[in-house]
Structure 1
Amino acid sequence: MSLDGRYDADNIFAKIIRGEIPSVKLFEDDKVLAFMDVFPQSRGHALVISKTSQARNILEMEPEVLADVVAATQKLAKAVNAALKPDGLVVTQFNGAPAGQTVFHLHFHVIPRYEGEALGRHGEGGMADVEDLRALAAKIAAAL
């Protein structure tokens, strides 16, 4: 998919926002939702999305909504750092399929990095065990 196109209201993140697909939530308010990535690249990989915008990428995101999403991403990064004590953190966001974007609803990744552990490939690898995600989410949520 290119950088141009129409928002698909049936994308997986839109379905998560509407409650049609379950997720392991970390926090949410009327503007943003943070939840665990079910295809994590690293232990504790989480995502932040807007609940109000239909922007597919950063080029389309309304500046005031982007500010809310970035603030929530920082909040999540601080909680992941406090809870999991990684050696580093990757905060990333992809725009368009050639850049690695697989869900066309703007989202930020917060990916803990641990010394000596390889980073999994984005969008590849197996689905995480839900109970493991819930246990990690409880640790992260407690640090919020």
Structure 2
Amino acid sequence: MGSLRPGDAGGADRFGPDGPGGTSRLQLGDAGEAQVDCTFCGIVAGRLPARVVYEDDSAVAFLDIRPLRRGHTLVVPRAHVVDLTAEEAGQAVAAVGPVLQQTTRLLIDRLPADGVSLLQANGSAAGQEVLHLHFHLVPRWAGDCPLNNWTPAADASVSLDDLHLQLAPPGS
């Protein structure tokens, strides 16, 4: 199911039952439950827009809004888990595995990319900015520059709408 920011062209918006700006609020709760102030919980719940390229019952893959390379995608578990140190992290990683695999195949096949780098950070010192476990899938091409810093490549910010259309499931 694909989604865009309100007003973007090229796909259908996906929002929660109250629509954009609705009054539904997620409850704060234990790990695994959606957190009201978590950006990724908002995306998973459909309260916040995202350009989803793949999803299943356990995880969601969507285009990063600050891509390092063309097609840079984030994969997040639907359950709220802060990072790999959380008690529930092992279960979340197992649940995300199939989506990582399917999204990697999608990036290699449809971009096409020569490979994909998998990156993950735990804690602010490691560069984690959103406190919801997530994995970066960064498409790579023969001869591109190494990922030894998080400075976006010049061509990384191509039209996210066009890229979404290229990667999203048909009809989304």
TM-score range, shorter chain: 0.7 to 0.9
- Structure 1 pair 98/119, CA: closer, same or farther in 2 (3 Å)? same
SS across alignment from 1:70? helix
Give the deviation of 1:67 after TM superposition: 0.6
Partner AA of 2:45 in structure 1? R
2:20 maps to what in 1?
none
Instruction: Decide whether the 8 Å contact of 2:69 with 2:152 is kept in 1.
Output: no
Structure 2: any 5+ residue segments left out of the alignment? 1-29
Distance 1:123 1:111 in 2: 13
Partner AA of 2:57 in structure 1? D
- Structure 1 pair 59/35, CA: closer, same or farther in 2 (3 Å)? same
Structure 2 residue corresponding to 1:130, chosen from 154, 160, 164: 160
- Structure 1 pair 81/131, CA: closer, same or farther in 2 (3 Å)? same
Distance 2:110 2:131 in 1: 29
Structure 1: any 5+ residue segments left out of the alignment? 1-5
Q: Does 1:68 align with 2:98?
A: no
Instruction: Decide whether the 8 Å contact of 2:62 with 2:74 is kept in 1.
Output: yes
Distance 2:96 2:162 in 1: 26
Distance 1:95 1:13 in 2: 15
Structure with higher RCO (Cα < 8 A, 6+ apart): 1
Give the deviation of 1:84 after TM superposition: 1.8
- Structure 1 pair 123/117, CA: closer, same or farther in 2 (3 Å)? closer
More helix by share: 1
Q: Does 1:58 align with 2:78?
A: no
Q: Which moved more, 1:35-44 or 1:78-87?
A: 78-87
SS across alignment from 1:73? helix
Distance 1:132 1:106 in 2: 27
Query: How many percent identity over aligned positions?
Result: 31
How high is the TM-score relative to the length of structure 1?
0.77
What CA RMSD, in Å, does the superposition of the two structures yield over aligned residues?
2.6
How high is the TM-score relative to the length of structure 2?
0.66
SS across alignment from 2:75? strand
